[in-house]
Chain A
Amino acid sequence: GIQVEQSPPDLILQEGANSTLRCNFSDSVNNLQWFHQNPWGQLINLFYIPSGTKQNGRLSATTVATERYSLLYISSSQTTDSGVYFCAVSAGGTSYGKLTFGQGTILTVHP
C-alpha cells in the first residue's frame, strides 16, 4: 500500500514563529488532506489539496503531485495552533476512499 511519511515528528516554536511541515507519499494520489487534531481528538480538516496551492488565513499548503510531496505552512504561530498535524492520502483502484495517514507532527507553540 501507499506509504506516507511526515516530518519533523516534533516541532517546538515560540509564538509568532513560522513553520513548515512536510508530507512525502510513495505513489500517485487522488486525495490529500491536512488535518489538525485538537486535544479532544477531533480532526479538523485544514486543506483538501491533491495538487496545487491553497491559503486560508495564516495557513497555506502546497502539493507537488509529480514529486509526491506536500507542505503545510503555518505563519505567525499561536498557542492555539498546538496539537498534532496529520497528512492523509488516498489512491485509486482497490484503495479508493481509504485514507492512509502519516505518523503526524506534534506541534507545541509556547507563549
Chain B
Amino acid sequence: GAVVSQHPSRVICKSGTSVKIECRSLDFQATTMFWYRQFPKQSLMLMATSNEGSKATYEQGVEKDKFLINHASLTLSTLTVTSAHPEDSSFYICSARTPPGYYGYTFGSGTRLTVV
C-alpha cells in the first residue's frame, strides 16, 4: 500500500521542447504532492508543493514558468518542464504523504531527464 507511480522513468528530449512527468498515487488519495530535483552526486532539493485543485507553491529560486505543475485530481500530479535546456537535465522525483495507517512520505521511482 501507499504506492506512488512515476512515469516516464527516463526521457531524452531535444533542447527547446517540453516534457511532462506524471506522478500517481495508486492506492490512496493525495491532496498534496511534492516535487524534488536531484543533480548527480547531490542531495534532493524540494522544488514545489502541488496542491489538488489549487496553484502549486514553489520554493525560492525555482522558476514557476519553467516548471509547470498541475494537480488536477486526488491521484495525479504532473510536472512539465517547458522549453527544456541542457541545464534542466536532472533526476526528478515526486512524493506524497502516506495515508492513515502508514507513516511518513512515500516516493515515486523518479524520472531521469536528459536534454540534448
Contacts and interface: CB of A to CB of B under 8 A. Distances in A.
Contacts of A42: 107, 109-110
A41 B110 contact: yes
Contact of B91 (A33, A41, A90, A103): A41
Nearest to A32: B104
Interface residues of A, number: 20
Interface of B: 32, 34, 38, 42-46, 49, 91, 93, 95, 97, 103-107, 109-110, 112
27 contacts: A33-B104, A40-B109, A40-B110, A41-B38, A41-B91, A41-B93, A41-B110, A41-B112, A42-B107, A42-B109, A42-B110, A45-B104, A48-B104, A88-B105, A97-B34, A97-B97, A97-B105, A98-B34, A98-B49, A99-B34, A99-B44, A99-B46, A99-B105, A100-B46, A101-B43, A101-B44, A103-B42
Interface of A: 31, 33, 35, 40-43, 45, 48, 86, 88, 90, 97-104
